[in-house]
Copies of this chain bind each other. A is one copy, B any other.
Amino acid sequence: MDKQAIINLLQAVADGAMSPEKAYSKLRLLPFEELGYAKVDHHRSIRKGVPEVIFGAGKTAGQIKGIASAMLENGTRSILVTRLDGETAKILSAELDMEYDHVSKTGVIAKDRDKKLVGSVVIVSGGTSDIPVCEEAAITAQVMGSCVTRLYDVGVAGIHRLLSKLDVLSEARVVVAVAGMEGALPSVVGGLVDCPVIAVPTSVGYGSSFGGLSALLTMLNSCASGISVVNIDNGFGAGYLAHMINTMKGVEE
């Protein structure tokens, strides 16, 4: 029952074709979605040009193509596919206008190449092995419409590398700090900047890194203010949140 249906129902009440009591009992059961409740911006893609997202892991090329086609028909301007393996990407690329990135394993369907990128999301990483997660975050934020700067391989074991980029960091509206192993980077970054820092632990490491647990705990226990944490290897989540913060409207004072 969509908006029109409800108004039709109300019109029937207005026309005397339905009693208020009958209308009440109908309204009481009407599906939520149609009322416009819940998530007002459910179809925000159409209105804002923000792309929809498909989590590609475990889906076949056929399934992804089906979902994407339906989205495009409904007016979605562009679609981000994450965790998309190379083989599936190859099949999709042959049939759809998709740009695939091998490092982050993301694909962008019907990419809006003229989109203006705004603000400043800075993505810093501890080591080269963290780059796939960084790139998932970077591409997510970019496709959403954020301007992204990458500062890779600036881990805390060689702090001068990070310090030599203070000018770049100081321009950030939000920083995504990605690190595996000991995961100390967000703490150091958090002490250097005055904007929100999104910490992303990665599963990079061995032995007592326990698949990213060590880095995760480090980040949660950070002494620096302004830091929050997403799941291990969750580059997409960090990029999405970074874009959300980056593109905030100014507060009214």
Contacts and interface: CB of A to CB of B under 8 A. Distances in A.
A90 interface: no
Interface string A190-211: 1111111010010101111111
A178 interface: no
Copies in the complex: 8
Interface in A55-112: 58
Contacts of A195: 244
19 contacts: A14-B20, A27-B35, A29-B167, A37-B166, A53-B225, A118-B252, A118-B253, A126-B223, A156-B184, A157-B222, A182-B218, A182-B219, A183-B218, A196-B244, A201-B207, A206-B233, A208-B231, A209-B221, A229-B230
Interface of A: 3, 6-7, 10-11, 13-14, 16, 19-21, 23-24, 27-29, 31-42, 44, 53, 58, 116, 118-119, 126-127, 129, 155-161, 163-167, 170, 173, 181-184, 187-188, 190-196, 198, 201, 203, 205-234, 237-238, 240-241, 244-253
